[in-house]
Structure formats: C-alpha cells, structure tokens
Structure 1
Amino acid sequence: MNIDKFKDQHVQILQKLSILRELTHGGVIQNATQIARSIMDMSSTIKLHLAAEDMALYPALQRSGNAELTAMSNQLQKDMGAIAAAYEAFARQWSQAEHLRNDEAGFRRDANEVLRTLHQRVQRENTDFYPRIEAL
C-alpha cells in the first residue's frame, strides 16, 4: 500500500507546528495575526489528512486481512476522534487575532496541550503505524 501522500501530509503538519511554535516564541501579541493565519492554514491540512485517512486508509486496512493492522487502525481512528475534536475547538477559539491578543495565557495553555497531543500522534503514526503498513 502506498502511503506517501499521508507521509507528506505529516511532514506538512509538522512543519506548520514548527512555524506556529516559532511565531509563539516570538510573541503571541506581536505575532497574533500570523499565528491566527497559521492556525487556519494548519487546520486545512489537518482536515484534508483526516478525511483521506477516513475515506481511504482505514477502509483499505480493514480490507487488508491483516488482523493486527485492522485492530491498530480501528484504535487509532477511535482515538483520533477526541484529538480532532480538541483541535477543532482550539482552532475555533484561536484562529482570530483578537482572541490571541486578549488571552495570551489561555492560548499558550491550550496550545501546549492540544498541539503537543497532535504532535505526539503524528510521531506515533510515523514511527509505529506507517512502517507496519509499508511492511504489509
């Protein structure tokens, strides 16, 4: 199974997380407009990635006949529901520069939690899930 598209999207997501981290370290209030744009940009990539996983990757793995990958993909898909919901709420709250300027501490708190979870998930897929798929 060719998963290059999914791997490329992970690279894009990690790059966008890095940009967001740099902007935040440079100052939330000073970079509020760029941070808000960055969140909206990243949201588009994440939505596309999740849709492709749900429509193509997970169903293909369920049809693969590999019980381990089927179970793993089912669990990852289930777990992603909570992660995606948390990210959507984060993006809704912080994709407006005014909100960032008005509550820097709240943004930092939410970003640390939600974006760390997202980063860990992408890394888990990169190091554990995708290699197993490629070995199939």
Structure 2
Amino acid sequence: MYLEILKDHHEGIYKLLDTITGAKTETQAISQADDISRALSRLAGLISIHLAAEDKFLYPNLAKSDTPKIRETATTFDQEMGHLADTFTTYKEAFMTPTKIKNNPAGFLQETHRVIDALIERLQREDQELYPLVEE
C-alpha cells in the first residue's frame, strides 16, 4: 500500500516534469514562464512530501531490512541521492515565479537540466531497482 502511494507520486512528478522541461530555448522559457511556474509550484509540494517520505522513513527502514540486497540498495540510494531535497529546494527558490524565470532564462534552462536530470535518475532507479526488491 505504502509503495503504491510512492509510485503514484512518481507518476504525478513525471507529468509535472514534462511541463517544466518543455521549454528548450530561452524564448520558450520566457513565453511558458507562467505555466512552468505553476507546474514548479505543484511539483515543489509533491516533491517535499515524496522525498521526505523516502528520505526520512523508507530508506532508513529498508536499511534495517533482514534482506541484505534491500539493506545495501537502500543505504546506497540514501548516500548517493539523499541530498536531492536540498538541491531541489535551492532550484525551486531560484525559479519559483515567472519573473525569476524571465529574468534568467539561460540559468533556468541550465539548472533545470541539472536538477531535473538528477531527479529523473532517482525516480527511475527507484522504479527499476529499489521498488521491485521491496515488492518481492
């Protein structure tokens, strides 16, 4: 049940990421700034709940598992990706409003690529490596 909620979060996150990463040029970032800002705001809420659930509860509990592979994978994920919440918060604060995006479209595109790629990597690794272990 708990894992299904986290998987639902992933689906919602992916949909919001599509809007945020839809702008490929500075001109597109400026013209789509309102939509991007709304998606980023909704994503920030979902991410804060999701990452807190994983970083504060899922990973620590799985790190105590009797199954060595689950324990090792959870510990590795936490060490490699546990900082993502702070990274995302910095990104969100830099580009939360349309004005901030419009004032620095090049920075927005660069940071979006860096931060969102890291977030997508985490989601995909959880979907492909961690969650299947827990479901077994």
1:86-101 map, 5 Å: 86-101=87-102
Find the counterpart in structure 2 of residue 10 from structure 1.
10
- Is 1:90–1:114's contact at 8 Å kept on the other side of the alignment? yes
Deviation at residue 2 of structure 1 after TM alignment:
5.0
- Listed as ranges, the matches of 1:101-120 within 5 Å are 101-120=102-121
Displaced runs of 4 or more, over 3 A? none
* Normalised TM-score (structure 1): 0.88
In the TM superposition, what are the counterparts of 1:1-136 in structure 2 within 5 Å? 3-22=3-22, 24-25=23-24, 27-135=28-136
Task: From the superposition, tell whether residues 54 and 121 of structure 1 become closer, same or farther in structure 2 (CA, over 3 Å).
Answer: closer
Mapped to 2, the partners of 1:113 and 1:2 lie a distance apart of 29
Query: Unmatched 5+ residue regions in structure 1?
Result: none
Task: Name the Cα RMSD after superposition.
Answer: 1.8
CA distance in 2, matches of 1:45, 1:33: 19
What is the distance in 2 between the residues matched to 1:126 and 1:104? 31
What is the total number of aligned residue pairs between the two structures?
134
Counterpart CA distance in 1 for 2:118 and 2:64 is 29
Question: Contact conserved, 1:2 with 1:134, CA < 8 A, in 2?
Answer: no
- Tell me the TM-score normalized by structure 2: 0.88
Deviation at 1:125, TM superposition (A): 0.8
Which amino acid in structure 2 is aligned with residue 34 of structure 1? D
Partners in 2 of 1:111 and 1:61 — Cα distance?
A: 30
SS in 2 for 1:27: helix
In structure 2, the CA distance between the partners of 1:30 and 1:109, relative to structure 1 (3 Å rule), is same
CA contact (8 A) 1:39 1:95 kept: yes
Cα distance in 2 for partners of 1:101, 1:62 equals 43
